[in-house]
């Protein structure tokens, strides 16, 4: 079965203000702004390149067979992950 996990990862970000920036202001913004996501989900796959999580997991049965469907998938490059724990 899939493990429930907690992940903290850095996502891409873009400034809210859609204006022209000087190089100095742009690099200052880049150095001081970050976007951290903390997420709980089901660990579907983890390899050298990425981690695949599902926010929802549904188990049904049809004609005696177990069928698992996954929802709210998210694929995170491993270089973006800062912390994770198996719950």
Res 10: pLDDT: 92
Q: Please answer whether residues 7 and 87 qualify as being in contact, where contact means their C-beta atoms are separated by less than 8 angstroms.
A: no
As a whole number of angstroms, the distance between CA 6 and CA 17 comes to: 32
pLDDT for residue 61: 94
Q: Which residue has the higher pLDDT, 46 or 16?
A: 46
Domain containing 67: what range?
A: 3-86
Total domains in the fold of the chain: 1
Q: Is the pLDDT of residue 22 over 90?
A: yes
Rounded to two decimals, what is the model's pTM? 0.79
Query: What per-residue confidence (pLDDT) applies to 17?
Result: 82
Give the burial class of 81: count Cβ atoms within 10 A of its Cβ; 0-12 exposed, 13-18 middle, 19 or more buried. middle
If you search the block for the tokens 């000087």, which residue do you land on? 22
């Amino acid at each position: 079965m899939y493990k429930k996990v907690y992940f903290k990862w850095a996502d891409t970000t873009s400034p809210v203000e859609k204006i022209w920036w000087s190089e100095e202001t742009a690099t200052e913004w880049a150095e001081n702004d970050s976007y951290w996501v903390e997420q709980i989900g089901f660990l579907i796959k983890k390899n050298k390149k990425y981690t695949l999580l599902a926010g929802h997991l549904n188990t049904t049965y049809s004609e005696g067979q177990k069928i698992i469907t996954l929802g709210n998938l998210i694929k995170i490059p491993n270089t973006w992950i800062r912390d994770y724990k198996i719950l």
